[in-house]
Amino acid sequence: MDLDKLVGQKSLIHRIKRIINNDSPGHAYAFSGPERIGKRTFAFAFAKKLLCCGNKTELCDCKSCRTFLEGTNPDFYEIITDKGSVGVDLIRDMQSDVANRPVYGKYKVYFIDNAEKMTIQAQNCLLKTLEEPPEYTIILISVTSFEALLPTIRSRTVNLRMSTYTDDEMREIICPVYDIPENELDFILKFSRGIPGNAFHMIEEGMVRELREHIFRLLERPDDLNAVEKVKNMLTDNKTEITTVLDILISVFRDCLMQKHTMENRLINSDKKDIIKCIAKSNSSRKLMDKIKEVERLRYGFKSNINYQLGIDLLLLEIQEV
* Rounded-to-integer distance, Cα 13 and Cα 115, Å: 21
**Alpha carbon 195 to chain centroid, angstroms:** 5
| Least gap, CB of 68 to Zn ion (angstroms) | 8
- Minimum distance from CB of 54 to Zn ion (Å)? 3
Q: Which is nearer to Zn ion, 46 or 253 (CB)?
A: 46
State which of positions 141-180 bind Zn ion (CB under 5 A). none
Instruction: Tell me how far, at minimum, the Cβ of 94 lies from Zn ion, in Å.
Output: 24
Whether 86 contacts 118, CB under 8 Å: yes
Task: Give min distance, CB of 192 to Zn ion, in A.
Answer: 33
Distances (CA, A) of 298 to 215, 231, 242, 291: 16, 16, 10, 11
Q: How far is the CB of 201 from Zn ion (least distance, A)?
A: 32
**What's the distance, Cα to Cα, between the start and end of the chain in Å?**
46
CA distance 94 to 88: 10
Q: Does 62 bind Zn ion (CB under 5 A)?
A: yes
- Whichever of 3 and 258 has its CB closer to Zn ion, that residue is 3
Residue 57 C-beta: closest distance to Zn ion, Å: 8
Q: Please give the Cα distance from 156 to 171 (Å, whole number).
A: 36
Binding span for Zn ion by CB under 5 A among 16-24, 45-53, 75-83, 172-180: 45-53
The answer to whether 45 contacts Zn ion (rule: CB under 5 A) is: no
- Member of 7, 37, 50, 52 binding Zn ion (CB under 5 A): 52
1 in Cβ contact with 43 (< 8 Å)? no
Interface segment toward Zn ion; rule CB under 5 A; list 54-62, 81-89, 169-177, 199-207: 54-62
The Cα–Cα gap between 181 and 240 comes to 25
Stretch that binds Zn ion, among 60-68, 85-93, 156-164, 196-204 (CB under 5 A): 60-68
CA distance 31 to 114: 10
Closest CB to Zn ion among residues 49, 117: 49
In the bound complex, what is the minimum distance in angstroms from residue 197's beta carbon to Zn ion? 27
State the nearest-atom distance from the C-beta of 1 to Zn ion, in Å: 15
Indicate whether 19 belongs to the interface with Zn ion (CB under 5 A). Answer: no
Handedness of CA 125, 128, 133, 138 (dihedral sign): positive
Query: What are the angstrom distances between the C-alpha of 112 and each of 36, 62, 99, 125, 182?
Result: 15, 25, 17, 13, 38
The residue among 60 and 250 lying less far from Zn ion, judged by its C-beta, is 60
Binding window for Zn ion (CB under 5 A); candidates: 20-28, 55-63, 67-75, 106-114: 55-63
Answer yes or no whether residue 65 interacts with Zn ion by CB under 5 A: yes
* Cα Rg of the chain (Å, integer): 24
60 forms part of the interface with Zn ion (CB under 5 A): yes
Residue placing its CB nearer to Zn ion in the complex, 52 or 248: 52
- Asked if residues 198 and 36 have their Cβ atoms less than 8 Å apart, the reply is yes
Give the length of the chain: 322
Residue numbers of the site for Zn ion (CB under 5 A)? 52, 54, 60, 62, 65
